[in-house]
Structure 1
Amino acid sequence: MAWYAYCISEKQAFPDLLRHRKPVPLDAVTGISGNQVFLYPASDLAVIVSEHNPDEPLVQKSAVDHAKVIADCFKMSTVLPFRFGTVFSDDEALRRSVRSNQRQFLTNLDRLRGKAEMHLKVVVDDCCREQDKPILMNRVGKEYLTSLRENATQQRERQTRARAVSVQMHRMFAPLDEEVSCKRDGTGKMMLDIAHLIDHKCIERYQNRYSTAAVQLKDCRMQLSGPWPPYHFVHRQSRVPAQHTPSRTAIPA
């Protein structure tokens, strides 16, 4: 039987699991395709899983269900989310993966205990939007080199601006850890995706700082969501072999 994996937690967070060696149903939590969710005991860890038919396709709603299970478990305990689509072919594959990664799992659980992720989307004007020009690929000599230099200069200016905004966010919110990605849309705006790791007990303080920042930073549009499970802070060192593990996008600007 294949197992679809949502996240990992500490066994001690679920007292009912301490008396069992076999998977125990996690009541009131429904998984992908409406399947029953189980706590699967593996040494000192609990793997949150549901039965899975490998021939059944994973659709957009499956991703929503995946995130909901993780969010429900996050209300009960520290969790290490698996990437969407992580499937273990049978019991042995699941146990083998946990055994080979157990030390890293326990280290991450200890590091992330009592912490949550807050997610900021920051939109700022592109400092180069008025002077942006296409590279003149059909030209040669001086015109072509000038075009290359202009575009390189614009790119450096964008990176400098993105870093400056990121540093400003870091100073205002003082997170325990962060991940930042930056991209540019077609309307001449730069969009920063910022994930901040904070103590769960500091959520209200963080939200108050956000309200202050939204007023002070007139040249930025900001959107806040969270608290979330620590999605961006789990997979830096742990790599779990399974049938399918889509990659996470979080590239610093």
Structure 2
Amino acid sequence: MSSTREKSAPVAGAWLHGVVRDVDPTMLAEITGMDGGPVRGVSAAGLVAVVSAAPLNEYGEEPLRHHLEDLAWLERAARAHHGVVEALAQRGAVVPARLATVHSDDSRVAGSLVECAAELLATLDRLTGRAEWGVKGYLVPGAVVRAGGSDGPGGVGTAYLRRRRAQLTARDEGQQAASAAADAVHTALGELAVAGRRHAPQDRRLSGAATAMVLNGAYLVDRPAVPRFTDLVAALGDRHPGIRLELTGPWPAYSFVAERPEPAHAVREPR
């Protein structure tokens, strides 16, 4: 009988969401984790890791590898994971864990806190009182065809080639100007922010924008400086009409976490 029960009961793992200095267990009980139940805290080395129950028959190394190839499952998991991290960030500094960081049990979670305690504490100190803001810049295409005017000598075919060359030149010049404007915007925002990161521009299929992205910046901003930061974004948008700026946030500081408890997509099994 006991053998049958052991086979039917999945081994409980722990999906790591993030690490904080401390947290109210009552608050954790209000946050929904990966399995639909509340998250919980695992304490060690003066830190608390916030985790969800993650049965290893679904979140172990092999099943997780298959899940990560399923875009629908991956999107649901990412949303649930981010929801927990965001809820923690609203209450204070949090070091977000990478998506799909799963431990075989709570003792492995505690061990990772002990191993990375110095880096995690330093990161939490740096993030306290700050949040990440995103600024994306999109190309604003200008008029590239000049209306009217003489086609000049050479006939209709030559005139077409001349106009086409002018269009391509204007487009290239517009893209160069937009790139220079994005550089200027990033520099100005970085001077006000505590730190700035420039990520690779997103493909239009991912961004959903009608025009190309020329700036994909992330900025760590002191909370008292947020009004000045948002005003600066608006002013820079007016100063550089060749790009359309989009401000998002505040976000958990994903872009400014160098040290994390475990590598991405790791299932930490007992050794």
TM-score > 0.5, shorter chain as reference: yes
Does the 8 Å CA contact 1:9/1:47 hold for their aligned counterparts? yes
Separation in 2, partners of 1:87, 1:25: 22
Secondary structure of 2:98's aligned partner? coil
Give unmatched runs, 5+ long, in structure 1. Answer: 18-23, 127-157, 246-253
- Closer, same or farther: CA 38–70 of 1 in aligned 2, 3 Å: same
- Closer, same or farther: CA 211–190 of 1 in aligned 2, 3 Å: closer
Residue matched to 1:240: 261
Residue matched to 1:117: 132
Residue matched to 1:130: none
Residue matched to 1:191: 214
Select which of 185, 190, 201 maps to 1:168. Answer: 185
Secondary structure of 1:232's aligned partner? helix
Identity %: 26
Query: How is 1:7-86 mapped onto 2 (pairs within 5 angstroms)?
Result: 7-11=18-22, 14=23, 16=24, 26-56=28-58, 57=67, 58-86=73-101
Residue matched to 1:155: none
Per the TM alignment, residue 39 of structure 1 is displaced from its structure 2 partner at its CA by 1.7
Structure with the bigger percentage of helix: 2
Does the 8 Å CA contact 1:118/1:224 hold for their aligned counterparts? yes
Residue matched to 1:138: none
Select which of 93, 97, 105 maps to 1:90. Answer: 105
- Closer, same or farther: CA 123–61 of 1 in aligned 2, 3 Å: same
Secondary structure of 1:52's aligned partner? strand
Separation in 2, partners of 1:7, 1:108: 12
Secondary structure of 1:32's aligned partner? coil
Does the 8 Å CA contact 2:138/2:211 hold for their aligned counterparts? no
Separation in 1, partners of 2:185, 2:212: 18
* Deviation >6 Å, runs of 4+: 158-161
Separation in 2, partners of 1:201, 1:159: 35
Per the TM alignment, residue 163 of structure 1 is displaced from its structure 2 partner at its CA by 6.2
Separation in 2, partners of 1:121, 1:205: 18
Residue matched to 2:251: 228
Matched, 1:178 2:196: yes
Separation in 2, partners of 1:188, 1:242: 35
Per the TM alignment, residue 195 of structure 1 is displaced from its structure 2 partner at its CA by 0.2
Per the TM alignment, residue 3 of structure 1 is displaced from its structure 2 partner at its CA by 0.4
TM-score, L = length of structure 1: 0.71
Separation in 2, partners of 1:94, 1:185: 36
RMSD, aligned α-carbons? 3.1
Select which of 213, 219, 234 maps to 2:236. Answer: 213
Instruction: Tell me the alpha carbon deviations over residues 19-67 of structure 1, each in whole angstroms, 9 at most, x when there is no partner.
Output: xxxxx87121101131211122112101111110233245311211111
TM-score, L = length of structure 2: 0.67
Separation in 1, partners of 2:16, 2:176: 38
- Closer, same or farther: CA 214–159 of 1 in aligned 2, 3 Å: closer
Residue matched to 2:158: none
Amino acid across the alignment from 1:77: G
Give unmatched runs, 5+ long, in structure 2. Answer: 1-11, 59-66, 68-72, 142-174, 205-209, 267-271
Instruction: Tell me the alpha carbon deviations over residues 96-119 of structure 1, each in whole angstroms, 9 at most, x when there is no partner.
Output: 211110100001011111110000
Instruction: Tell me the alpha carbon deviations over residues 107-159 of structure 1, each in whole angstroms, 9 at most, x when there is no partner.
Output: 10111111100001111369xxxxxxxxxxxxxxxxxxxxxxxxxxxxxxx79
Larger-Rg structure: 2
Per the TM alignment, residue 90 of structure 1 is displaced from its structure 2 partner at its CA by 1.2
Amino acid across the alignment from 2:32: T
Structure with the bigger percentage of strand: 1
Separation in 2, partners of 1:38, 1:159: 50
Question: What is the total number of aligned residue pairs between the two structures?
Answer: 209
Select which of 102, 106, 110 maps to 2:117. Answer: 102
Amino acid across the alignment from 1:166: D
Separation in 2, partners of 1:32, 1:85: 10
Does the 8 Å CA contact 2:101/2:263 hold for their aligned counterparts? yes
Does the 8 Å CA contact 1:9/1:78 hold for their aligned counterparts? yes
